[in-house]
Amino acid sequence: MDSITQIVLGAAVGEVVLGKKIGNRAMLWGAIAGTIPDLDVFLRFFLDDITSTEMHRGFSHSLVFAILIAPILGWVAHKAHKRREGVSFKNWSWLFFWATVTHPLLDAHTTWGTQFFWPFEYRLAYKNIFVVDPLYTIPFLILLLIALFHKRTNPRRRLFNNAGLIVSTSYMVLTLILKWVSFGEFQESLQVNNIEYLEMDTKPTPLNSILWNAQVETNNGYRVAYYSLFDTKDIVFSKEFPKNHHLLEPYKDQKSVQQLITISEGWYFLEQEADKIIFYDMRFGQTGIKAINSKFIWRYELTVDSENQVAVERSRPSMGDTGQMFSDLIERIKGN
């Protein structure tokens, strides 16, 4: 999820582990640890765009990473606060382990997911919360700030901090329930419309857990649809986007092509555009909520040289008026 949310979670976890002993230092160190896994974004300065994207939320978002980094950071904090009585190297290591490991566990609920069980190539992604969700973060942040302004010996400090963890976790459970409800609605609509499908993937739309998006794989292509918990009319599915996977057949063994397929987790379709092949990764949604047949945001342009080698460049279509897009989102959340 976004950095602010991860800082809040890390600080709250740090408070749980060592708040009674060291007060605000526990929140500070927990907040720092909560951001460390996202330092993998700097890979883009050393690797090509596709490889850095493929590695994002990989090793740094794994259980192995948390186990390895915790004693290192624990040693640093222990040395920095060596005069602090009653706080051992083990205490510090536990703080950093829990503040670090909860980061990928939270990210696992988003669309991109995490490779929590690295080195195994399995990405944990529940897809029940958008990467930025104010209803998760804001109450959590408020309760954490209230806790921050209480002395470490005041029982109300722990009370408010724990309340933040309980409220945020309860909301996360609620989003799982809402995902299950929306999945059932999409499934029923597919049956009513006699649409045969192979697989369906559902996820929330930006900034909320009321409006849900479904991507449906058929034999020859994909369809998309939206469902709000406030809807009163039938669900409408888009036209079928043809897979056109045959366009990649001559190049499917090339590394860059294999990377794109891995990144998209198989949810992609292709279009021939002049001398280029456009690769659309469907998982990050479309440019508009209102127009269910609109273009998809995440796309790559593939060009083939004289030696039949594929060059890949990521591009994004114009997003248009973002204010209007946000307005359309709000209107669609309200129901059809």
Name the least confident of 28-37, 77-86, 125-134.
77-86
In this structure, what are the phi and psi dihedrals at residue 51, rounded to the nearest 5 degrees? -65, -40
Give me the phi and psi of 206, to 5 degrees please.
-55, 135
Degrees, nearest 5: CA angle 154-160-163: 145
Average of per-residue pLDDT across 297-316: 89
Q: Cα Rg for the chain, rounded, in angstroms?
A: 23
Amino acid sitting at position 333: I
221-228 β-sheet, strand order:
199-204, 211-217, 221-228, 241-242
Q: Are the beta carbons of 87 and 81 closer than 8 angstroms?
A: yes
**Phi, then psi, of 3 in degrees rounded to 5:** -65, -40
- With 0.85 as the threshold, say if the pTM is over it: yes
Structure tokens at 275: 């001398």
CB 35, CB 3: distance < 8 Å: yes
Amino acid symbol at 227: Y
Residue 318: per-residue pLDDT: 65
Give the least confident one: 47-51, 201-205, 305-309.
47-51
Span 194-203, average pLDDT? 96
Question: Could you report the per-residue pLDDT of 92-121, keeping only the tens digit for each?
Answer: 999 999 999 999 999 999 998 999 999 998
Separation between Cα atoms, residue 209 and residue 322, nearest integer Å: 20
pLDDT at 124: 94
Q: What's the rounded Cα separation, in Å, for the pair 230 and 210?
A: 8
Quote the tokens at residue 161. 């901090």
Distance CA 318, CA 287 (A): 8
Q: What is the pLDDT of residues 248-299, one digit of tens each?
A: 999 999 999 999 999 999 999 999 988 899 999 998 888 878 778 888 888 9
Q: Which residues contact 121 (CB under 8 A, 6 or more apart)?
A: 115
Residue 278 pairs in a beta bridge with: 271, 301
Q: Over the chain, what HEC string results? A: CCHHHHHHHHHHHHHHHHHHHHCHHHHHHHHHHHHHHHHHHHHHHCCCHHHHHHHCCCHHHCHHHHHHHHHHHHHHHHHHCCCCCCCCHHHHHHHHHHHHHHHHHHHCCCCCCECCCCCCCCCECCCCCCCCCHHHHHHHHHHHHHHHCCCCCCHHHHHHHHHHHHHHHHHHHHHHHHHHHHHHHHHHHHHHCCCCCCEEEEEECCCCCCEEEEEEECCCEEEEEEEECCCCCCCCECCCEECCHHHHHHHCCCHHHHHHHHHHCCCEEEEEECCEEEEEEEEEEECCCCCCCCCEEEEEEEEECCCCCEEEEEECCCCCCHHHHHHHHHHHHCCC
Please tell me the distance from the alpha carbon of residue 279 to that of residue 301, in angstroms, as a whole number. Answer: 6
Chain segment 17-55, per-residue pLDDT in tens: 999 999 999 999 999 999 999 999 888 788 888 888 888
pLDDT value at 326 more than 70: yes
pLDDT at position 175 over 80: yes
Q: What mean pLDDT is reported for the chain?
A: 93
